Amino acid sequence: MERNLLKNKIEYGIGMICFILVCILVLAPMLLMVVNSFKSNSEMLRNDSGLPEVWTLESYKSLFTTYSSLVKHFYNSIIISIISTICGTFICTLAAYAFAKYKFRGRESIFYVLLATLMIPSEVIIPGQYLFFAKLKLINTLAVQILPTIPAVVGVYMIRQYMLGIPTSLIESAKIDGAGHMRTFVTIIIPSAKPIISSYMILHFLDVWQNYTWPLLVATKQNIMPIMVSLPTLVDSVIGFVPVWGTIMAGSVLCSIPLIIVFLLNQKAVMESVILGSIKG
């Protein structure tokens, strides 16, 4: 018994150490990013891993002076992500509601066809999308970065799964009270599906925010670039410039910390929706 207890304790200790170790490994690069952002660009070239010799806000200042375009790009990213999130969540919720709570012809088949298209990765259709938007003369606008990201089958799926759990009696009692379809949707469905809607919004926002391949191809003009595309351009060793690592790190902090805060505030809901979205086999 004694031996068992000891063994249990050792096991417990090993588990604890493993967990803490992994946490440190996870956090270290992020801390490094923050620490590095307090170094000057010239110090970053000598010392890109230790503590700053001089703690300075120079890199952050450069974001607003020499590299003020980054702030503009940051703003573009925000506009793109917010518009896409709002529109995307709205139309996905509408569709999810139809799939979850209405019976209509073709419901199953449409739904399964949509699910099947999940197998087509968005990268496959990039050439077709590019030519389509080129024909509309929309390349190098904010719209071209927003529009294709709006419809997301995953969103419909996730929200529908959640809505299936909303009791139909709620909807029926609203109808008896004389509420129309849209009113039922707004007053009953949206409030009761709020947890999934808000966590899907965060997932969608993250998705659009982190998008790289598509904007890289369609956003080549400085004034509409998102920050994800413009940040790596500062690494450039080609044009005879020395990379400005301090500024890059400050930019990275700028576009990571707000997301981390939003995520931390809504962590539970987001992680639940991750589970909902992942198990669809």
Partner 1 sequence: MTKKITLVLLVAFVCFGTLFAAATPEKEGNPSIEMLMWGGADRLNYLKTIYEKTTSLSSNEMANITFTSGGTGATDSYQLFRLKLASNDAPGIVFFGGETAATEFIMNGDILNITSEVKDQMNDILPSAVDLASYKGEVYGLPTQVKSKVWYYREDLFREAGINVGEIKTFDDFYSAGMKFKEHFPEKYFINLGPTPNVDVVIGWLGSYDNLTIADEAGNFRITTDPRFRDMYEKLYKLATAPFSLYVSDWDSDWQPNIENGTIASLLSWSWMTEFLPSYAPNQSGLWAITAWPEEFGYGGCAELISIPTATSNKAASVEVLKTLYLDSDGAVLRFKENGLLPVTYSGVEKVNAAVADIAATASSTSPLGYFGTGMVDDIFATMKYATKYNSDPSFNAEEAIIENHLNLMITGIETIDQAIANTQKDLIMQVGNPYDI
Partner 2 sequence: MKVTNIREKIIPYLFLSPFLVFFLVFFIYPALNSFYISLTSYKGYGQAKWVGWKNYHAILHYDVFWTGIRNVLTYWVLHAGVMMIISFTMAFIVSSPKYQKLSRLKVILFLPRVIAPTVAALIFRAVFSSNGLFNTVFGVTIPWFQNDTLTKIVVAIILVWRDFGYWFVVFVAGMTSVNPEIIDASIVDGATTMQRIFRIIIPLMKNILKFALIIDGISSLRLFSIPNIIVGQPGALSPTSIGPVMNLLVQNIQQGSFGRASAVGWLLFIMISILTVIQMTAVRDTEDL
C-alpha–C-alpha distance, residues 146 and 88, integer Å: 10
The answer to the question of residue 109 lying near partner 2 (CB under 8 A) is no
**69, 72, 78, 84: CA torsion to nearest 10:** -100
Residue 186 in contact with partner 2, rule: CB under 8 A: no
Q: By the 8 A CB rule, do 208 and 149 touch?
A: yes
222 binding partner (options partner 1, partner 2, none; Cβ < 5 to 8 Å by kind): partner 1
Going from the C-alpha of 37 to that of each of 51, 57, 180, 249, 251, the distances in angstroms are 11, 8, 54, 5, 8
Sites for partner 2 among residues 112-171 (CB under 8 A): 114, 117, 119-121, 123-132, 134, 147-148, 150-151, 153, 156
Among residues 212, 222, 223, 242, which is the contact residue for partner 2, using CB under 8 A? 212
How far is it, in rounded angstroms, from Cα 162 to Cα 194? 10
CB 146 within 8 A of CB 219: no
- DSSP per position, 19-49: HHHHHHHHHHHHHHHHHHTTS-HHHHHH-SS
Among 231, 244, 250, 269, binds partner 2 (CB under 8 A): 231
102 touches which of partner 1, partner 2, none (CB within 5 to 8 A by kind)?
partner 2
Q: How far apart are CA 157 and CA 279, in angstroms?
A: 11
Angle between helices 153-164 and 69-101 (to 10 degrees): 50
User: Could you list the residues that contact partner 1 (CB under 8 A)?
Assistant: 64, 68, 71-72, 74-75, 78-79, 82, 130-131, 133-134, 137, 139-140, 217, 220-223, 233, 236-243, 258, 261-262, 265-266
Residue 127 binds which one of partner 2, partner 1, none, with CB within 5 to 8 A depending on kind?
Answer: partner 2
Residue 140 contact among partner 1, partner 2, none, beta carbon within 5 to 8 Å by kind: partner 1
The entry of partner 2, partner 1, none near residue 79 (CB within 5 to 8 angstroms by kind) is partner 1
Should residue 190 be labelled a site residue for partner 2 when binding is judged by CB under 8 A?
A: no
Contact mark string toward partner 2, 53..92, x via CB under 8 A: -------------------------------------xxx
- The answer to the question of residue 259 lying near partner 2 (CB under 8 A) is yes
